[in-house]
């Protein structure tokens, strides 16, 4: 019924946003809020640059492009021109408050007010300045125009050409177009519109002989989704084909095939449904891992089907189940213990993964236990395969020297390999970053002057005024750093809304200027009416700025009241000296750096240690379980193969220069949980013939598991790739060493 409901909805509840995988910032509510607001704002922005050689051609291309863009339905808002209306908005916002607003340069210059009159006269005579009578009447000292032009300076090298922003860099011209998408970057419907956009871009490039560059979270998100989808297909289909092939080769009949598909199908379906019920959605990351479940859940089926194949006419389906019941149940329990480790870490992503896998495995197990005996009452009509190699290998294990040498040798190799170990907790291992997108982003950032190496600083205070004053203070320090070249650019709301204290200072200065110099200026200009100062103090407030259209680009830096405090963010770009900034910030109690990436990496590192401890605990728990069941000696033998396998897998991963991450350690949990199945089955066997059959089933299981995780190792996402390699190598070695648990007398 739930499935029906899901199918009725147009889309499956699949989440693609990487941040949904990560734990929230528990320490600082304000920081989490700030981060989310900014992430939303940045994520919805797309920037285009049209590259060409001729300004007018670029403008024609831009006009054509923006028209086509608008019809795709992908964008809510497209900015290609600085409209005159926008230019006027600045003026109309600040004009009523002009007696309180002074540019930094004028603040300095008005300390010697006598120089101002000369300046005004010079500007009036200058034919290029465009001082009109109207302006002179309302602003006789021409302070307002200085303030306005100082608000508009930016770090970019763009100039206005017919209302378009064009920059010239190294003999190429670049025209800037910005857009906001009509939704979130992780909205799959929007991502699906990207090929249409690509088509539009290509047509524009061909028609006008220009080159289009683009960047924005949307592109990365779409790429991530596509590559994940591709991987799910590869892993899913690859595993299925491998299993079907094996089934046909070994069992050579339809019934086993059907039973196997039943078990896999049930497992996946129930897992999907339960996970969505619990979490409300599934992250695509979980689905990629979940696809590998196909190769693991088939294990129980293999044991059952091998029994059936071997018994031929002596077949009794219920009896067969009883024979293998202990073994497969123990196997399930140990695998579940392995996955349970993931459920404990407060990573929504890992929790989903583990729930999916646990439910999937359990369902597959139940299918085998409950349905198989009923469905497979008829005996197998296919002759047993005669697998000589397996027999030979098993006989080798009789030799004591092999029993010691092989594990011993592997341990030695592992220890040597582990010297190559290298840890990495960078969050970027979770993302697939295609080079072409990264190049475009880098180019665009350089040309637009947004700069790379951005840092966001969260500032908190008790009131609006206190916050503005603090922002001004900090901006002064940052501007000094800018002069020294330590940072490229500073952006703070205090640049657009001075604190009331500053406005009062300015007002005093301006009033003083008029008192001292108004008469002199009136005389020099030979005015009909003397200049008088008739403006009352009326502060410009944040709400005035935010209500104006000029705050569209940077207004998001101001958060206002959040959890009892007032907060805002200062953005620094092109940070050349991060140590200096770090040192300074740590000395300020009301300023924190918003750095989600570093924060997550720190969390990863912390949990890496936690998982290592978990691993040890799991080994101990399973060890105790085994000792209880098998006694000390056999228990020990059972646990050695997976242990050695884990060490060796880690060693091989390190030797292959893959950095060890939290995911590789999680992989070790799986190597333990699954690898131990193989030794368990040997330990449970009561006689030699059983061992041979067991080994067939184990070998088949190992092949399918290796296939599934081997396919995972092909992933573009570093985390998944590393995970796949570790599990793959671990399982192979666990299989290799599994006969260690075989009773010696069985080998003859």
Q: Which of 8, 84, 389, 587 binds another protein (CB under 8 A)?
A: 84
The CB-of-137 to another protein minimum distance in angstroms stands at: 6
CA-CA distances (angstroms) from residue 543 to 59, 451, 493? 36, 29, 12
The b-or-e profile of 437-446 (16+ CB within 10 A means b, else e) is: beebbebbbe
Please state, as a whole number, how many other Cβ atoms lie within 10 Å of the Cβ of residue 396. Answer: 14
Q: What contacts 24+ positions apart, CB below 8 Å, involve 444-447?
A: 444/47, 444/49, 444/213, 444/214, 444/215, 445/215, 447/49, 447/156, 447/157, 447/167, 447/169, 447/174
Phi then psi dihedrals of residue 89, to 5 deg: -60, -40
Tokens of 662: 């939290």
Report yes or no: 296 and 708 within 8 Å, Cβ to Cβ: yes
Of 584, 588, 502, nearest to 541 by C-alpha is 502
Specify the stretch interacting with another protein by CB under 8 A; choose among 154-162, 286-294, 308-316, 570-578.
Answer: 154-162
Pairing of strands 158-161, 164-169: antiparallel
Using the rule CB under 8 A, which residue among 76, 77, 92, 149 binds another protein?
Answer: 149
* Closest to 288 in 3D by CA, of 709, 588, 695: 709
CB of 80 to another protein, least distance (A): 15
Would you count residue 148 as binding another protein (CB under 8 A)? yes
534 binds another protein (CB under 8 A): no
- For another protein, the binding residue among 37, 55, 60, 157 (CB under 8 A) is 157
Burial class (CB in 10 A: 0-12, 13-18, 19+), 677: buried
| Footprint on residues 172-201 left by another protein (CB under 8 A) | none
How far is 293 from 513, CA to CA, in rounded Å? 78
**Pairing label, strands 14-15, 282-283:** parallel
Size of residue set near another protein by CB under 8 A: 34
Alpha helices in 656-747 (DSSP H): 662-684, 688-712, 718-737
Q: From the CB of 573, what's the least distance to another protein, in Å? A: 17
Among 125, 314, 374, 657, binds another protein (CB under 8 A): 125
Environment class of 298 (CB within 10 Å of its CB; exposed 0-12, middle 13-18, buried 19+): buried
DSSP-assigned letter for residue 576: S
Stretch of 129-137, 440-448, 599-607, 621-629 lying at the interface with another protein (CB under 8 A) = 129-137
Residue 27 binds another protein, judged by CB under 8 A: no
In the complex, the smallest distance separating the C-beta of residue 170 from another protein, rounded to whole angstroms, is: 15
Find the part of the chain contacting another protein (CB under 8 A) among 36-44, 144-152, 259-267, 291-299.
144-152
Least Å distance between CB 54 and another protein? 15
- What gap in Å lies between CA 60 and CA 399, rounded to an integer? 82
Contacts with another protein in 545-584 (CB under 8 A)?
Answer: none
CB of 514 to another protein, least distance (A): 16
Q: Which run of H or E residues covers position 615?
A: helix 596-655
CB closer to another protein out of 168 and 189: 168
Q: Measured from the CB of residue 48, what is the shortest distance to another protein in angstroms?
A: 20
Smallest distance from another protein to CB 651, Å: 57
171 binds another protein (CB under 8 A): no
In the complex with another protein, which residue's Cβ is closer, 120 or 204? 120
- In whole angstroms, the minimum distance from the beta carbon of 120 to another protein comes to 11
Q: Judged by CB under 8 A, does residue 124 bind another protein?
A: yes
471 Cβ contact partners less than 8 Å away, ≥ 6 residues apart: 459, 492, 493, 494, 499, 568, 570
Nearer to another protein, 86 or 504 (CB): 86
Give whichever of 118 and 378 is closer to another protein, judged by the CB atom.
118
Taking the C-alpha atoms of residue 351 and residue 283, their distance in angstroms, rounded to an integer, is 11
Residue 55 binds to another protein (criterion: CB under 8 A):
no
User: What is the CB-side half-sphere exposure of residue 602 using CA atoms within 13 A?
Assistant: 7
The partner residues of 572 in beta bridges, in order of sequence, read: 455, 490
Cβ neighbors of 449 (< 8 A, separation 6 or more) are 154, 155, 156, 157, 488, 489
3-state SS assignment for residue 215: strand
User: CB-wise, 44 or 167, nearer to another protein?
Assistant: 167
In the set 5, 27, 132, 536, which binds another protein (CB under 8 A)? 132
First-to-final CA distance of the chain: 55
Q: Residue 123 or 535: which CB sits closer to another protein?
A: 123
Least separation in angstroms between residue 526's CB and another protein is: 4
Q: At what angle do helices 254-279 and 293-311 cross, to 10 degrees?
A: 150
Rounded to whole angstroms, how far apart are CA atoms 335 and 328?
10
Tell which residue, 310, 309, 308, 327, has the closest CA to residue 318.
Answer: 308
CB of 649 to another protein, least distance (A): 57
Virtual torsion, Cα 695, 699, 702, 706, nearest 10 deg: 160
* Nearer to another protein (CB atom), residue 368 or residue 447: 447
Residue 167 touching another protein (CB under 8 A): yes
Q: Which is nearer to another protein, 62 or 301 (CB)?
A: 62
Interface with another protein, residue 152, by CB under 8 A: yes
- Residue closer to another protein (CB basis): 62 or 615: 62
Give least dist CB 66 to another protein, A: 18
- Single out the residue of 138, 400, 419, 526 in contact with another protein (rule: CB under 8 A): 526
Q: Tell me whether residue 53 or residue 137 sits nearer to another protein (CB atom).
A: 137
- Measured from the CB of residue 140, what is the shortest distance to another protein in angstroms? 9
Q: Does residue 368 contact residue 304 with C-beta atoms inside 8 Å?
A: yes
Judged by beta carbon, residue 388 or residue 528, the one nearer another protein is 528
* Complex with another protein: residue 103 or 568, whichever CB lies closer: 103
* Residues numbered 89-118 forming contacts with another protein, rule: CB under 8 A: 118
Q: Tell me which stretch binds another protein (CB under 8 A): 122-130, 324-332, 591-599, 634-642.
A: 122-130
* Sign, Cα dihedral of 130, 134, 137, 138: negative
Please pick, from the candidates 20, 39, 136, 196, the single residue that binds another protein as defined by CB under 8 A. 136
What is the DSSP-derived secondary structure letter of residue 648? H
CB of 126 vs another protein, minimal distance in Å: 7
Distance CA 608, CA 619 (A): 17
Q: Is 87 in the site for another protein (CB under 8 A)?
A: yes
| Contact flag: residue 59 with another protein (CB under 8 A) | no
525 binds another protein (CB under 8 A): yes
- In the complex, the smallest distance separating the C-beta of residue 150 from another protein, rounded to whole angstroms, is 9
Interface residue list for another protein (CB under 8 A): 84-85, 87-88, 118, 122, 124-130, 132-134, 136-137, 148-149, 152-153, 156-160, 162, 167, 525-529
């Amino acid at each position: 019924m739930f499935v029906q409901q899901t199918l009725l909805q147009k889309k499956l509840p699949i989440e693609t946003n990487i941040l949904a995988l990560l734990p929230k910032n528990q320490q600082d509510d304000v920081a989490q809020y700030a981060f989310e607001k900014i992430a939303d704002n940045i994520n919805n922005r797309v920037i285009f640059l049209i590259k060409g050689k001729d300004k007018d051609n670029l403008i024609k291309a831009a006009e054509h492009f923006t028209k086509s863009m608008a019809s795709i339905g992908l964008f809510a808002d497209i900015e290609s021109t600085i409209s005159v209306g926008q230019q006027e908005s600045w003026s109309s916002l600040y004009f009523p408050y002009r007696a309180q607003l002074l540019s930094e340069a004028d603040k300095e210059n008005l300390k010697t007010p006598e120089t101002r009159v000369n300046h005004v006269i010079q500007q009036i005579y200058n034919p290029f300045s465009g001082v009109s009578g109207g302006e002179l009447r309302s602003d006789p000292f021409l302070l307002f125009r200085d303030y306005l032009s100082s608000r508009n300076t930016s770090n970019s090298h763009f100039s206005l050409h017919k209302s378009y922003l064009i920059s010239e860099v190294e003999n190429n011209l670049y025209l800037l177009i910005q857009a906001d998408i009509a939704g979130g970057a992780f909205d799959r419907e929007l991502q699906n519109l990207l090929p249409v956009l690509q088509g539009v871009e290509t047509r524009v490039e061909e028609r006008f002989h220009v080159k289009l560059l683009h960047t924005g979270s949307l592109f990365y998100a779409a790429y991530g989704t596509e590559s994940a989808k591709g991987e799910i297909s590869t892993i899913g289909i690859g595993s299925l084909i491998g299993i079907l092939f094996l089934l046909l080769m070994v069992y050579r009949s339809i019934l086993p095939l059907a039973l196997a598909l039943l078990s896999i199908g049930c497992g996946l379906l129930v897992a999907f449904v339960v996970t969505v019920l619990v979490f409300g959605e599934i992250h695509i990351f979980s689905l990629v891992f979940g696809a590998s479940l196909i190769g693991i859940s088939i294990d129980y089926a293999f044991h059952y089907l091998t029994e059936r194949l071997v018994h031929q006419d002596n077949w009794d389906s219920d009896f067969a189940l009883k024979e293998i019941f202990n073994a497969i149940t123990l196997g399930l329990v140990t695998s579940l213990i392995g996955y349970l480790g993931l459920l404990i870490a407060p990573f929504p992503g890992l929790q989903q993964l583990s729930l999916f896998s646990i439910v999937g495995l359990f369902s597959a197990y139940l299918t085998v236990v409950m349905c198989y005996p009923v469905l497979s009452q008829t005996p197998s009509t296919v002759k047993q395969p005669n697998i000589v190699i397996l027999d030979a290998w098993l006989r080798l294990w009789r030799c004591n020297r092999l029993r010691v040498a092989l594990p011993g040798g592997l341990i030695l190799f592992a220890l040597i390999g582990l010297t190559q170990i290298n840890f990495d907790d960078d969050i970027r291992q979770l993302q697939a970053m295609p080079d072409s997108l990264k190049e475009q982003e880098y180019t665009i950032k350089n040309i637009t002057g947004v700069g790379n190496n951005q840092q966001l600083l969260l500032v908190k205070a008790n009131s609006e005024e206190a916050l503005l004053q603090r922002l001004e203070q900090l901006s002064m320090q940052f501007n000094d750093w800018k002069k020294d070249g330590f940072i490229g650019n500073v952006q703070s709301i205090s640049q657009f809304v001075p604190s009331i204290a500053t406005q009062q200072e300015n007002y005093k200065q301006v009033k003083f200027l008029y008192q001292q110099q108004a008469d002199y200026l009136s005389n020099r200009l030979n005015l009909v009416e003397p200049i008088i100062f008739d403006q009352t103090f009326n502060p410009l407030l944040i709400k005035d700025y935010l209500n104006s259209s000029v705050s569209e680009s940077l207004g998001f830096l101001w958060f206002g009241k959040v959890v009892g405090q007032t907060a805002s963010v200062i953005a620094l770009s092109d940070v050349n000296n991060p140590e200096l900034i770090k040192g300074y910030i740590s000395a300020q109690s009301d300023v924190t750096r918003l750095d989600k990436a570093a924060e997550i990496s720190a969390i990863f590192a912390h949990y890496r240690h936690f998982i290592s401890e978990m691993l040890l605990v799991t080994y101990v728990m399973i060890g105790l379980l085994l000792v209880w069941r098998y006694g000390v000696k056999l228990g020990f033998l059972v646990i050695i193969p997976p242990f050695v396998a884990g060490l060796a897998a880690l060693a091989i991963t390190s030797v292959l220069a893959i950095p060890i991450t939290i995911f590789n350690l999680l992989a070790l949990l799986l190597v333990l949980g699954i690898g131990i199945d193989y030794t368990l089955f040997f330990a449970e066997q009561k006689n030699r013939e059983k061992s041979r059959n067991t080994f067939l089933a184990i070998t088949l299981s190992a092949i399918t598991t290796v296939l599934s995780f081997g396919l995972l190792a092909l992933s573009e996402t570093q985390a998944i790739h590393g995970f796949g390699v570790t599990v793959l190598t671990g399982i192979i070695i666990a299989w290799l060493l599994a006969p260690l648990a075989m009773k010696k007398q069985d080998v003859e």
